[in-house]
Amino acid sequence: MSLKLKKYDITKERLPQHIAIIMDGNGRWAKGRNLPRIEGHRQGVKRTRQIVRTCGKLGVDYLTIFAFSIENWRRPTKEVNFLMHLFKEVIRDQVPDLVKNNVRMRFIGRLGRIPEDVMEVMRWGEETTKDCGGLTLLVAISYGGRSEIVDAVKKIINNGVPSDKIDEKTFCKFLYAPDVPFPDLLIRTSGEYRVSNFLTYQTAYTELWITKTLWPDFTPSLLLKAISDYQKRERRFGEV
């Protein structure tokens, strides 16, 4: 890995603490090969495993992946059911590997919509990996950035927080993962120039990196290229 860091002119000291990824293009990848969409999702999972391992080896602290948006519930029932089954399968298969590599798994989103059998496996995954102290992998499932903001407002109201006590610091305490720093780098595959309702509040000053590569073709080398480009940027956060 050190040789690759040198090749891409990456310094460990300036690694993004938190990387977020919109893993887009599974369906188009399958269509381009005359395969069913579900095969694209399977290939996407294989790529996700590889990228998670790479982030862990690099020393990235947090990785948030957009696995299933709240809008995805509108997809055909057959595809949604397949994805729910796939989530269960992947969690069961990958948790031992996550533990081995010291990766903690967490889930964010409107989880009340997730079928109970899937939630049971998700809770098991979180519990089994809770003491892992390396990379924290946040899986956004049944997630929408606007929904998260609405849910935060509801929690603030339900907790009786006076309006004159609400500021950005207070608001952030009611987000899905209030202990997690905002993303430094947001990667989007498939060439679309939008953030698609992902981490809407958290990405105000996040650096964006977009590639036309579809997610199943997104290699660790492209991840290193994204990090290299990120390290060449000057982050001013609105200052001069």
CB 8 within 8 A of CB 224: yes
Helices (H), the chain: 2-7, 26-31, 37-58, 77-100, 116-129, 145-158, 168-172, 220-231
Residue 1 confidence (pLDDT): 52
Q: Which two tokens stand for residue 93?
A: 């298969």
User: What value does the mean pLDDT take over residues 56-79?
Assistant: 96
Residues 5-52 have pLDDT tens digits of 888 899 999 999 999 999 999 999 999 999 999 999 999 999 999 999
Residue 79: beta bridge partners?
A: none
Residue 237 confidence (pLDDT): 80
What's the pTM value of the predicted model, to 2 decimals?
0.95
CB 42 within 8 A of CB 90: no
Structure letter (DSSP) for residue 17: S
Residue 113 confidence (pLDDT): 95
Residue 240 confidence (pLDDT): 58
Spell out the domains of the chain, with CATH numbers in brackets.
17-145+182-229 (3.40.1180.10)
Strand ranges across the sheet with 207-210: 104-108, 136-143, 62-69, 18-22, 185-188, 207-210
Residues 95-124 have pLDDT tens digits of 999 999 999 999 999 999 999 999 999 999
Catalytic site positions: 24, 72
For Cα atoms 130, 182, 156, give the angle at the middle one, nearest 5 degrees: 85
Confidence band (pLDDT; 50, 70, 90) for 178? very high
**Residue 225 reports pLDDT greater than 70:** yes
User: What value does the mean pLDDT take over residues 133-141?
Assistant: 99
User: What whole-number distance in Å separates Cα of residue 56 and Cα of residue 63?
Assistant: 9
